[in-house]
A and B are shown apart, each in its own frame.
Chain A
Amino acid sequence: MNDNQSLNLLDRALGLEQQSRPWPLSGRVVLIEDRVETTASFVLHQLIKRSLPPNSSNVVVFVAFANPFSHYDRVLRKLGCNLVTQRDNNRFFFFDMLMLQCPDGDEGKSKVGLVSLYEKIHKTISSLPEDKKSYVTVMIDDISLMEVAANGASDYVLDFLHYCHALTSEFGCSLVALNHEDIYSNTETPTFILQIEYLADILIKAEPLATGLAADVHGQLTVLNKATSHGLGSSRNKVYNFHFKVKENSVEYFYPGSRG
């Protein structure tokens, strides 16, 4: 099982090893893209765990469109992180949006739907003490389901994401979102996913192996770490690629060819 101190390849690719800053992802946008053959929810789980280290005051605001709290609680418990305790300590805020239905044709004109969701997130962050605000991670577990909740109005979703992006510069918090790449593969110009990719500072892609299925490799991750010019990263625009194997209590990451 992973312990907190040892960092795996994904952590390194995300730049989490930088000890100089309390939360290296501050002010950055992380986009996770997966496919139906290789779901990347384990990356999200790992990021929840990393965002809530035991001896810190980091806060996670989790916006759930895909799974209820009990699901995440069970998964994170196996990874050694108790979400119920974190919730009681006001370090984990869970917004259950599974039943969210935006009224037709509204799209940001009244205080319902995504506008009210934004209001909730904004209120939560601004009610935190000043010193904690920049250690907040806002997570959205499925952008495509948000699009469904918005009756397919992708511009409305993009507006919402723009406001979330504005939060990162207003408070210095970070934004993590998951989306499915192959949903958009048929459209001639996948504008929606490209728009989100432009917003992202770090892009994580989970794909099946090019060579087909293998017993001890479940897929590969490609991480594009774009440091913006205001970022303090030691290197600009690094690309990482490694394989992963999802186990019961942890995920193993390794370079291609270094196993079996």
Chain B
Amino acid sequence: MAETICRTLRDGGLEGEHAPALTIKDSVASPFGLDVFAYVLTQLSNYILAGKSQSRGLVIVAFSRSPSFYVNLLKERGIDVNSSHKWVRILDCYTDPFGWKELLNVKEVSQETSTLSSFCNDVRDLEKLYSSIIVQGKGLIGQGKGHFSVAIDLVSEMLRHASISSVGKLLSNLRSHDQVSSIFWLLHSDLHEVRVTTVLEYLSSMVASLEPINRTTIGRKGDSGNLSLLEQNFRKGKFHVRFKRRNGRVRVMCEELHVELSGINFTSVSSEDGIINQRLLPKVQFNLQLSEKEQTERAKVVLPFEHQGNGKPIQIYDGRRSLSENKNEETLVSTAKLQTDEDTGKGEIIYFRDSDDEMPDSDEDPDDDLDI
């Protein structure tokens, strides 16, 4: 499923349509957003390098990590960085986002990433940011009609200094730019109002949200017993993805995410769930479930009140013999009948009706007239 996301980003958008956009949102209880971001980034880079994707280049807008972090990340994942200036550009909104260094005239230490990255000294000016993203992208693909992808590593950081409407405008403009092939961004959902998160989800065609396996928060008094749950939350999480199709259909999928030293990997959740369900059943001495053989045998048992289909008419006792069978009720209750019954050894309830005044048994409550 994480694969599906990457493939959708790889394939890009159709001519005259919005580019596919992905929101990755996490929270402090399951803080693997950056890992997922790095995963998507690596996959997309691989596709771009192999020439399989619609986009020819990638612009990383770095808010929460330094450009050298991304260069190291690509190196670690075995991507050739030497040729990287041909297909990746980093817009550095991390080193000096508010122009303090410029104000103080602090000299920037030369970095190996300087060929790849360019500075943004005022992240509050979103229009300038938008135009520099486009300039970077166009710089990658040259004058032709090619496409490029955009990765924004933390929209939350943007939202700290700009209103949701201006951030939404920036993202929407990027999506509808005809040279942008795909776009994805990271969001810490618990830093914002629900409204803000929803707006960003509307802007995206895919939403990948990370949720903790166990709902627990650290620091609440007296939950030290939940330590193992907490540790579990720091090793894996639930990974929900919502795809919005062009025709309006929404598909939700769920996977489990495991965090390992080398990165993250995804497993389908169904098998895991089965194991958990089995484990959740209490241990009892008798069987709570039937085997297949037991189930077929149970189906064969004939219940006593069931019509047994042996040719005889079905008789259901209604409290008296039916009139069609016996013309005279007085003679019916004869001693002869009683005797034959005794011979066969069958039990029978003998009942003489005292008079016709007595009404036959009915559903009526006999104590109906009592005022209880």
A interface with B by C-beta (< 8 Å): 33, 108, 110-111, 115, 118-119, 122, 126, 155, 158-159, 162-163, 166, 169-171, 181, 189, 191, 194-195, 197-198, 205, 207-208, 210-211, 220, 222, 224, 226-230, 235-239, 241, 256
Closest 8 CB pairs of A and B: A210-B222, A237-B234, A169-B66, A239-B231, A119-B104, A241-B227, A191-B191, A236-B261
Q: Which chain B residues lie closer than 8 Å to A220 at the CB level?
A: 224
Q: Which chain B residues lie closer than 8 Å to A211 at the CB level?
A: 222
Known: A169-B69, A220-B224. A229 touches B94 (CB 8 A): no
State whether the Cβ of B95 lies closer than 8 Å to any Cβ in chain A: yes
State whether the Cβ of B190 lies closer than 8 Å to any Cβ in chain A: yes
Cβ B69 vs Cβ A205 within 8 A: no
Cβ A229 vs Cβ B263 within 8 A: yes
State whether the Cβ of B235 lies closer than 8 Å to any Cβ in chain A: yes
- A224: min CB distance to chain B, Å: 7
Cβ A198 vs Cβ B28 within 8 A: yes
Cβ B190 vs Cβ A189 within 8 A: yes
State whether the Cβ of B3 lies closer than 8 Å to any Cβ in chain A: no
Extra contacts, 9 of them, besides A189-B193, A210-B223, A237-B235 (Cβ < 8 A), are A169-B65, A194-B190, A198-B31, A227-B261, A229-B38, A229-B76, A235-B261, A239-B227, A239-B230
Q: Which chain A residues lie closer than 8 Å to B218 at the CB level?
A: 205, 222, 224
Number of A-B contacts (CB under 8 A): 105
Closest to A123 in B: B106
CA of A176 to CA of B202 in the docked complex: distance in angstroms? Answer: 38
State whether the Cβ of B130 lies closer than 8 Å to any Cβ in chain A: no
Cβ A166 vs Cβ B28 within 8 A: no
Q: What are 21 of the A-B contact pairs (CB < 8 Å)?
A: A111-B104, A115-B104, A118-B100, A118-B104, A162-B97, A166-B66, A169-B68, A189-B193, A194-B188, A195-B160, A195-B191, A197-B28, A207-B221, A210-B223, A222-B227, A224-B234, A226-B31, A226-B234, A229-B76, A230-B73, A237-B231
Cβ B100 vs Cβ A115 within 8 A: yes
Q: Which of A166, A169, A181, A238 contacts B219 (CB 8 A)?
A: A181
State whether the Cβ of B167 lies closer than 8 Å to any Cβ in chain A: no
Known: A198-B188, A224-B234. A237 touches B259 (CB 8 A): yes
CA of A211 to CA of B188 in the docked complex: distance in angstroms? Answer: 33
Q: Please report the total number of B residues contacting A with Cβ < 8 Å.
A: 46
Closest to A234 in B: B261
Q: Which chain A residues lie closer than 8 Å to B261 at the CB level?
A: 227, 235-236
Closest to B104 in A: A119
Cβ B260 vs Cβ A236 within 8 A: yes
CA of A110 to CA of B260 in the docked complex: distance in angstroms? Answer: 44
State whether the Cβ of B314 lies closer than 8 Å to any Cβ in chain A: no
Q: Which chain A residues lie closer than 8 Å to B28 at the CB level?
A: 194, 197-198
Interface residues of B in 215-262 (CB under 8 A from A): 218-219, 221-225, 227, 230-231, 234-235, 259-261
Cβ B103 vs Cβ A111 within 8 A: yes
- A157: min CB distance to chain B, Å: 12
Cβ B66 vs Cβ A122 within 8 A: no
Q: Which chain B residues lie closer than 8 Å to A197 at the CB level?
A: 28
CA of A189 to CA of B263 in the docked complex: distance in angstroms? Answer: 30
State whether the Cβ of B280 lies closer than 8 Å to any Cβ in chain A: no
Closest to A197 in B: B28
Contact with A along B35-72 (1 / 0, CB 8 A): 10010000000000000000000000000111011001
Q: Which chain B residues lie closer than 8 Å to A111 at the CB level?
A: 103-104
Cβ A229 vs Cβ B35 within 8 A: yes
Known: A198-B31, A230-B73, A236-B259. A159 touches B106 (CB 8 A): no
Q: Which chain B residues lie closer than 8 Å to A198 at the CB level?
A: 28, 31, 64, 188, 191
State whether the Cβ of B307 lies closer than 8 Å to any Cβ in chain A: no
Q: Which chain A residues lie closer than 8 Å to B98 at the CB level?
A: 108, 159
State whether the Cβ of B109 lies closer than 8 Å to any Cβ in chain A: yes
State whether the Cβ of B128 lies closer than 8 Å to any Cβ in chain A: no
State whether the Cβ of B161 lies closer than 8 Å to any Cβ in chain A: yes
Q: Which chain B residues lie closer than 8 Å to A195 at the CB level?
A: 160, 191
Cβ A229 vs Cβ B73 within 8 A: yes
- B197: min CB distance to chain A, Å: 12
Contact with A along B78-115 (1 / 0, CB 8 A): 00000000000000001111101001101101000000
Q: Which chain B residues lie closer than 8 Å to A238 at the CB level?
A: 231, 234
CA of A210 to CA of B225 in the docked complex: distance in angstroms? Answer: 9
Q: Which chain B residues lie closer than 8 Å to A210 at the CB level?
A: 221-225
Interface residues of B in 256-308 (CB under 8 A from A): 259-261, 263
- A74: min CB distance to chain B, Å: 31
- B95: min CB distance to chain A, Å: 6
Cβ A122 vs Cβ B106 within 8 A: yes
Q: Which chain A residues lie closer than 8 Å to B38 at the CB level?
A: 229
Cβ B69 vs Cβ A230 within 8 A: yes
